[in-house]
Structure 1
Amino acid sequence: MAFSGKTHQLRSWGRYPTVLPAEVRPVYWRSELPDLAHFEQPLLPYAYGRSYGDSCLNEGGVSLDVSHLRRFISFDKAEGLLCCEAGVSLAEVLELVVPRGWFIPVTPGTKFVSVGGAIANDVHGKNHHKAGTFGCHITRFELLRSNGERLICSPHKNTKLFEATIGGLGLTGVILWAEFRLKPIINPFIDMERIQFSSLDEFMQISAETDQKYEYTMSWVDVLIGGRDLCRGIFMCGNNDQSRVRASQKIGKKLPLTVPFDFPSFMLNTLTVKSFNELYYHSQFSKRVHKVVPYEPFFYPLDSIHEWNRMYGKRGFLQYQFVVPFQDGFEAMREIIGRIQHSGEGSFLTVLKTFGTIPSPGMLSFPRPGLTLALDFAFDGQKTLRLLDELDEIVRQSGGAVYPAKDARMSAENFQAFFPRWQEFAHYVDPRFSSSFWRRVSHANKLAMV
């Protein structure tokens, strides 16, 4: 992203909603920072727009483009401690550290996010049950507040601001740089297994059997099959490969595909989703398949298709991710899947996994012990919004939560029920910072300045 203080329409990866900020102001240097007290409109950092909803959007406000803050500051190759500016992408981190025997400790499903964004959304990955969230591995960062203060935040210094900023959706100020611990690896390959399952019960059984054996686990699921089994899918689990022979093996670079235009909306319907699911499920001929693969197709399969969000058409899509606790989660999951089937709404990409018990450090961190399901719904106006409102109610009744980083429509009432520490968090929100999401869920006046 490259802007020069002018106004541009902005949207997130889901392409819904589209907003018009009053200004997009680039931030180039840590030594030459803008005077944030100078702006009359509310402020919000913005890097690569890979959040799915409106948490990174600031209608009528000032979007601070931090994608230019993308320099590495230090790298302790012996200890695996990396310090870089907040606009550095995870892709750039990987290019630096993987050849030197290190890996990102926790990674989301795309490497095209900024380090600052990974902190602000306290992202999770396939190894939550083993490693927690990205925020668990942050040792410190520098936070710029609108009054000009530049604060070093860590688990031992400015602790409450540290906890508020991790998972704080960019509302506590601008993260200028961050330091975090890396994970040692022997080679850039994943020793993985793919296991077909034919019901939610079987998923739970496989999950229980693999959680201790494998660091990385997740499942693609088909929630449109109907019947007693409710869903079927392919469970994927893996560990970092331990072969020293493969340490010197080069991974060939494949040219990414690009979706060149917006797909017509009629191409995405229940019939095409069911057809895709049928083909994908049966593309695996054996119950279990074992293989060793490069890390990129394992962690980032969609990154090989640039602009893949165009497949959902001009209206975009809503990704919906929730977590429900283990105690009541099984029944809640059955009810939610049943409601989706009854609605006729289809999801091409549906991911099911479990969260572990490692506590997240952020006040608004999303992961908590339980079952989590993520679905993509092509946006079909009120029909889609009504369905998601219904799902919110089931999640709320079960004691679960919806992921703010992927939300564009949840009510203030539900947000405040999902995140009971929200009022404590609000105390640490910078008075000049706001977002379209925060104004919706907190009823904060976007022009209220302290």
Structure 2
Amino acid sequence: MSTVARIPLSGWGRLPISRQTLLHCRDRSSPLPLPDHGTLLPYGNGRSYGDVPLNDGGYALLTRGLDRFIAFDATTGLLRAEAGVTLDEVLKLIVQQGWFLTVTPGTRFVTLGGCLANDVHGKNHHVAGCFSAHVTRFELLRSDGERRICFPNDPWFRATAGGLGLTGLITWLEIHLQPIANAWITLENRAFRNLEEYFQINHAREAVWPYTVAWIDCAARGSALGRGVYMAGRHAPVGTNPPPIRHSQWTLPFTPPFSLVNTPVLRTFNWLYYHAPRPRLGYSHYAPFFFPLDHVRNWNRIYGPRGFYQYQFLVPHKSAWAALCEVLDRIACSGQGSFLAVLKSFGNLPAQGMLSFPRPGVTLALDFPNRGAKTSRLLDALDDVIRQAGGALYPAKDSRMRGDDFQRAYPEWQEFRSYIDPRFSSDFWRRVTEQG
């Protein structure tokens, strides 16, 4: 491992920014470096949105150098790889051999270690649970030199899955994959007129489709509150051979001086997207279905130099209707709607981690340009709604959660503290545990 001078780092939302000394991890068999003072924190591919991967004034363990595959059994779908390997690199290896990730988030440019540390979820949580449910074992390297091989039901497994990188460095992990016949997804699209119709469609479609998700028009109000497009999918059967599709790749080469996301743009985009013609049934390559934003590299730059907040919350099923109606109405009234508004429900499969976010309920993810005090007031108001509904915010996408909200929503946080490596810390953890 080698060091580089302290430089500014941020998450994908480009705020906040911390200054850290970088440590490059390239050999999983090497011990952790132990500076005379200061704390450490793993940093993968920088796709967590807020301050979960940041450790201002400390040391960032850059894990992308741990990028080797260790073993892959193409007959059973068992893959072992170092923690810095990205899902993109995994997919390039396994899809052509008839396998796919059992759980994947909305971008393929995240590391395996990051997926476990945040215990990510996908469009199929109602049938597959979280990422950690398909991890068979992993190695955890502690600052005292101890190497632990952790298995499901081990307390160290439960602490590290969703443990936000605080229990030590994940050096490698082993996961179960799912078999597929080809790279295609059978897809169903259905526009819905309001939130009530969404719940009706979702109740029926979740029973027969393994992948379900909806886009919501946050600018709609009145009788159209919560309107959107419902998308369901499954891996296509043997013999599926749609016409070839060209996958374009775009790059946003610079950061504009101001956010390109504003109220007129949002209203126009949302109206066009909702009314766009789309086939009721069809096929899609897996990439645009699972990773729709990945075809635009550096898309986070569209929000300008001030960055943006991603705000993802979950509310229990019993309070979901009222809470979502109030959240969407407040957003529409504020004029700060998000064009990246993703709604889906979680199933009843229990989480593996002490701090795992998914639990039975409905979750909505939104992006808001950083407009200073105006945005802060809106998000504070949304916090009140989520708090009263008994919901939770997602740490992997957070940079502003109150400590009391975290401690209420993650009641095992006190037990989790005993598993934190004494030389590891993060901006997020200090923020949510050192304030009320």
Residue ranges of structure 1 left out of the alignment (5+ in a row): 445-450
In 2, Cα distance between equivalents of 1:281 and 1:406: 26
Distance 1:267 1:91 in 2: 28
Q: Quote the residue 1:102 is aligned against.
A: 99
Q: 1:419 aligns with which of 392, 406, 410?
A: 410
**How far has the Cα of 1:3 moved from its partner?**
7.9
Q: Structure 1 length as normaliser, TM-score?
A: 0.94
User: 1:210-229 to 2 correspondence within 5 Å?
Assistant: 210-229=205-224
Question: Which residue is equivalent to 2:250?
Answer: 257
Partner of 1:18: 17
**Aligned equivalents of 1:57, 1:245: Cα separation in 2:** 44
Match of 2:307 in 1: 316
Matching residue's letter, 2:26: Y
For 1:39 and 1:201, locate their aligned partners in 2 and report how far apart those are by CA, in whole Å: 58
Deviations 1:238-267 (A, max 9, x none): 110013354xx8966635100112234263
Query: What CA distance in whole angstroms lies between the structure 2 residues aligned with 1:39 and 1:324?
Result: 44
The answer to whether the 8 A contact 2:348-2:359 is kept is yes
- 1:242 corresponds to which of 216, 226, 237: 237
What amino acid is aligned across from residue 7 of structure 2 in structure 1?
H
Return the match for 1:65 from 62, 65, 85. Answer: 62
Check conservation: 1:389, 1:410, Cα contact below 8 A: no
For residues 173 and 380 of structure 2, what CA distance do their matches in structure 1 show? 36
Query: Given the alignment, which residue of 127, 146, 149 partners 1:149?
Result: 146
1:169-188 alignment runs, 5 A limit: 169-188=164-183
SS, match of residue 302 in structure 1: coil
* Equivalent residues in 2 for 1:33-432, closer than 5 Å: 33-36=31-34, 38-156=35-153, 159-246=154-241, 254-265=247-258, 267-284=260-277, 289-432=280-423
Q: 1:254 and 1:278 mapped to 2: Cα distance?
A: 25
Q: Aligned-pair distance for 1:365?
A: 0.4
Q: Do 1:9 and 1:20's aligned partners in 2 also have CA atoms closer than 8 Å?
A: yes
Give yes or no for contact 1:110–1:300 (8 Å, CA) kept in 2: yes
Report if aligned partners of 2:31, 2:145 keep a CA contact under 8 Å in 1: no
Per the TM alignment, residue 5 of structure 1 is displaced from its structure 2 partner at its CA by: 2.4
Aligned equivalents of 1:253, 1:88: Cα separation in 2: 26
Return the letter of the residue paired with 1:183.
Q
* SS at structure 2 position matched to 1:368: coil
Separation in structure 1 between the aligned mates of residue 245 and residue 42 of structure 2, nearest angstrom: 35
Secondary structure of 1:279's match? Answer: helix
Structure 2 residue matching 1:182: 3-state secondary structure: strand
- Superposition TM-score, scaled by structure 2 size: 0.97
TM-superposition CA deviations, 1:390-440 (whole Å, max 9, x none):
211211111110000000001111111111111111111111111010010
Task: Output one character per residue of 1:88-120: Cα deviation in whole Å (capped at 9) or x when no partner.
Answer: 000000011100100000000000000000000
Indicate if the aligned counterparts of 2:103 and 2:130 stay in contact, CA closer than 8 A: yes
Letter in 2 for 1:12: G
Aligned partner of 2:30 in structure 1 is 32
Distance change in 2, residues 1:46/1:250 (3 Å): farther
CA RMSD of aligned residues (A): 1.6
Distance 1:26 1:274 in 2: 44
Tell me, yes or no, if the aligned pair for 1:217 and 1:236 is still in contact at 8 Å: yes
The whole-number CA distance in structure 2 between the counterparts of 1:437 and 1:106 is 25
Matched position secondary structure for 1:267:
coil
Amino acid aligned to 2:183: P
Give runs of ≥4 in structure 1 deviating > 6 Å: 249-253
Query: SS of the counterpart of 1:417?
Result: helix
The answer for unaligned runs of 5 or more in structure 2 is: none
Whether the aligned pair in 2 keeps the contact of 1:122 and 1:167 (CA below 8 Å) is yes
Distance 2:259 2:305 in 1: 12
